[in-house]
Amino acid sequence: MADLVASPMTALEIRASVSLASIFALRLLGLFLILPVFAVYAQSIPGGTDHTLVGLALGIYGLTQGLLQIPYGAASDHWGRKPVIATGLVVFAAGSFIAALATDIVWTIIGRAIQGAGAVSAAVTALIADSTRDAHRTKAMALVGASVALTFASSLVLAPMLYPLIGVRGLFAMTGVLVVAAIGVLFWVVPAAPRAQAELKSKDEFSTRAALLDRQLLRLNAGIFVLHMVLMAMFVVLPVLLVQGGLPLPAHWKIYFPVVMLSFALMAKPLIVAERRGLMRPLFIGSIVLVLAAQLGFLLRVDSVLWMALWLLIFFTGFNILEATLPSLVSRIAPASAKGLALGIYNTAQALGLFVGGALGGVIVARWGSEAVFVFAAIVTAAWWLIALGMREVPVTTNEPLPI
One domain, residues 29 and 124: yes
One domain, residues 47 and 177: yes
Q: Mean pLDDT check: name the lowest of 26-40, 54-68, 211-225, 299-313.
A: 26-40
Most confidently predicted of 299-308, 313-322, 378-387? 378-387
The pLDDT of residue 99 is above 90 = yes
Q: Region 135-149: what's the mean pLDDT? A: 73
The pLDDT of residue 84 is above 90 = yes
Task: Evaluate whether residue 225 is within a structural domain.
Answer: yes
One domain, residues 217 and 175: no
One domain, residues 67 and 136: yes
Domain that holds residue 307: 212-394
Q: Region 27-45: what's the mean pLDDT? A: 74
Interacting residues of 93 by C-beta distance below 8 A, sequence separation 6+: 118, 175, 176, 179, 180, 183
Cβ distance 274 to 329 under 8 Å?
A: no
- How confident is the model over 189-202, as pLDDT tens digits? 888 766 544 344 44
Q: What whole-number distance in Å separates Cα of residue 350 and Cα of residue 346?
A: 6
One domain, residues 182 and 100: yes
Model pLDDT, residue 228 = 87
Question: Using CA of residue 381, residue 320, residue 35, residue 123, what is the dihedral sign?
Answer: negative
Task: Evaluate whether residue 388 is within a structural domain.
Answer: yes
Most confidently predicted of 109-123, 213-227, 259-273, 286-300? 286-300
One domain, residues 231 and 181: no
Q: What whole-number distance in Å separates Cα of residue 27 and Cα of residue 60?
A: 17
The pLDDT of residue 404 is above 70 = no
Q: Region 274-296: what's the mean pLDDT? A: 89
**Domain end call among 162, 196, 230:** 196
Cβ distance 206 to 212 under 8 Å?
A: no
Amino acid at 240: V
The pLDDT of residue 280 is above 90 = no
CATH of the domain at 387: 1.20.1250.20
- Tally of domains in the chain: 2
Task: Evaluate whether residue 301 is within a structural domain.
Answer: yes
The proportion of the chain whose per-residue pLDDT surpasses 70, expressed as a percent, equals: 84
Cβ distance 284 to 322 under 8 Å?
A: yes
Task: Evaluate whether residue 144 is within a structural domain.
Answer: yes
Q: How many angstroms separate the Cα of 351 from the Cα of each of 137, 275, 328?
A: 22, 27, 18
One domain, residues 176 and 249: no
Please compute Rg for the chain using Cα positions: 21
